[in-house]
Amino acid sequence: MGWQEDTLTNANAVVNLVGGYTNQREMAAERIVRESLRVNPSALQITVSPKDDQLKLIAPLTHQPSVLPRLKLCEDYVRENCANFECMRLEANLIEEECERMKNTIYDRLK
């Protein structure tokens, strides 16, 4: 039994907090969605990324022209493949508030 069966079988929600802004982010997002759909297609899929204007704050060396399309690609992959999803963009310096927003989103969607 792999990580997918261990973690996804009884999951109500899958929150993708994949960091990094390389093509590894795309591959990780694709794998999380693919395995979630295979093991538990009804689970709520949430993908989390920073707001576009926040990238300079959290990853100042990141080249935005290559990153912004990558973030959108990950969100599009979730939108196109999952029936139950939420794509969230967060403020970099509001960790407590944004965690609360994520929690509320999960609770509201799972009612």
Q: With contact defined as beta carbons under 8 Å apart, do 72 and 37 qualify?
A: no
Q: pTM of this prediction?
A: 0.86
CA 54 distance to own-chain centroid: 16
Q: Band of the pLDDT at 45, cuts 50, 70, 90? A: very high
More confident residue, 78 or 23: 78
Average pLDDT, the chain: 89
Q: Band of the pLDDT at 101, cuts 50, 70, 90? A: very high
- pLDDT of 12 strictly over 90: yes
Over residues 65-76, the pLDDT tens digits come to: 778 888 999 999
More confident residue, 99 or 62: 99
Domain that holds residue 90: 3-109
Task: Give the pLDDT score at 74.
Answer: 93
- pLDDT of 63 strictly over 70: no
Query: Which of 42, 56, 51 is CA-nearest to residue 13?
Result: 42
Task: Give the pLDDT score at 102.
Answer: 95
Distance of alpha carbon 1 from alpha carbon 50, whole angstroms: 33
Distance of alpha carbon 84 from alpha carbon 67, whole angstroms: 25
Count the domains in the chain: 1
**Taken in order 76, 77, 79, 81, is the CA torsion positive or negative?**
positive
**What phi and psi values does residue 92 have, to the nearest 5 degrees?**
-70, -35
DSSP alpha helices (H): ranges in 9-94? 23-39, 55-58, 64-81
